[in-house]
Amino acid sequence: MHITFRQLEVFEAVARHLSYTQAANELHLSQPAVSMQIKQLEENTGLPLFEQLGKQTYLTEAGKEMYHYCRSIAQQLDEAEEVLQQLKGVQRGRLDISVASTANYFATRLLAAFAKQYPGTSFTLDVTNRETLLRQLENNEKDMVIMGKPPEEMELVAVEFMENPLVIIAPPDHSLTAEKQIPLSRLQQETFVVRERGSGTRIAMERFFAEHGVELTTGMEMTSNEAIKQAVEAGLGLGIVSVYTMELELEARRLALLDVEDFPILRHWYMVHRKGKRLTPVAEAFKTFVLREAASLISRFG
């Protein structure tokens, strides 16, 4: 096959947007120029890469395979550029990172502190749920992911760098806020506002109470920690969240932590990437920075 980098660049944009028009706008090309590049690429591969059904553009099976390799080639070129720039002594680069929604409360501080040490760097930060993080890892889409304990069946490199205590929260005027060492069995009289199924917090919560033989009454399901905190503040039930999400609410005394036996549930944060992935220099620097700065971050929240 005689494929040019320009053809791959155009193909990647069309495949990502599933739109010739949006790809043309992004690349500052005319739509006929984009169509011509795709036509030449299809002629070189001998297979159709897109199909048009009505007004919607779809990738064919061959297109999906080409998109996979196209992204891999782009990542390798980015890595080569990073290495070559570092050899020139240029301290710059881009970090593409995803974090679990709970981790966003401290991840932005980490990135800000890192940027002060490496002012030539820039970032792309995606804050999302566990399911999306696992898909991104499977597809090798990100330089690094910060999340709770990753599944053991995936071929990943996971480095534990910080504790993530889960605590029980209540409105300040709740009767349990005045009690000490509340028995777990007492919680069966309460209703809990919980995260959606599949979230790391939900998995840890259900495992913990199952191990202690306690069955909770769950009311509303929420897809974010902010929604849980607002629901608890409104009196809709108790909640279980990471202590790192509670800084502002505790300072403003809008919510309170309950003193419950065997709490907090101690989890950990991990820096994760695909096994065998060659980290760019900026990704390596960020990984080293996080491992070095985690202890001070914990004391700041403590």
The answer to whether the beta carbons of residues 231 and 220 sit under 8 Å apart is yes
Share above pLDDT 70 across residues of the chain, in percent, rounded to a whole number: 94
According to CATH, the superfamily of the domain at 165-266 is: Periplasmic binding protein-like II (3.40.190.10)
CA-to-CA distance for 202 and 216, rounded, in angstroms?
A: 12
Query: What are the sequence ranges of the domains in the chain?
Result: 5-71, 90-162+268-301, 165-266
pTM over 0.75: no
3-state secondary structure of 208: helix
Distance CA 243, CA 69 (A): 41
299 pLDDT above the threshold of 70: no
Query: Residue 95 contacts by C-beta under 8 Å, 6 or more apart in sequence?
Result: 111, 121, 122, 123, 124, 143, 144, 280, 282, 283, 286
Tokens of 215: 């069955």
Q: What is the DSSP string of 131-192?
A: HHHHHHHHTT--SEEEESSPPTTS-EEEEEEEEEEEEEEE-TT-GGGG-SSB-GGGGGGSEE
CATH fit for domain 90-162+268-301, picks 3.40.190.10, 3.50.50.60, 3.10.20.600, 3.40.50.1970: 3.40.190.10
The answer to whether residue 61 scores a pLDDT higher than 60 is yes
What pairing do the DSSP bridges indicate for beta strands 265-274 and 156-170?
Answer: antiparallel
Q: pLDDT tens digits, residue range 148-184?
A: 888 888 889 999 988 889 999 999 999 999 999 999 9
The whole-chain average pLDDT of the chain stands at 87
Q: Which CATH number fits domain 5-71: 3.30.70.1450, 1.10.10.10, 1.10.599.10, 3.10.20.740?
A: 1.10.10.10
Q: How many Å apart are CA 195 and CA 227, to the nearest integer?
A: 9
